Amino acid sequence: MKKILLMCTAGMSTSMMVQKMQESASEQNLEVKIEAYGSERFNDLIPEYDIVLLGPQLKYMHNEFKNRAEPYGKIVEVINPMDYAVMNGQKVLSHALELIG
């Protein structure tokens, strides 16, 4: 099972994206775990997930989170702002799974 973590400032706006991604995963019969949390939980949660997707509002923290994730061999990527704006869960899910490999 692939595990995807979404992070934003408080975990609120990404929770809507999680719902859209889970709907897409269900339609494709994919077994994935997708959750959203505020960025302050990053250090506690990074070992449990395959990839961390940052809400566009956290783009400025990408390098910092990427460096913190490196010892765990985890991927950190910023969600495409256009996909985020229209809540395109299918596209965000597909991109995350592609990055995980």
Q: Which of 4, 5, 6, 8 is catalytic?
A: 8
pLDDT band for position 11 (cuts 50, 70, 90): low
Please tell me the distance from the alpha carbon of residue 99 to that of residue 101, in angstroms, as a whole number: 5
Paired residues of 36 in beta bridges? 6
- pLDDT tens digit string along 71-99? 999 999 999 999 999 999 999 999 999 99
- pLDDT tens digit string along 32-85? 999 999 999 999 999 999 999 999 999 999 999 999 999 999 999 999 999 999
Q: What is the pTM of this model?
A: 0.93
Angle between helices 13-27 and 89-100 (to 10 degrees): 80
Phi, psi of 62 (to 5 degrees): -55, -50
Class for the domain spanning 2-100: alpha beta
Does residue 48 carry a catalytic annotation? no
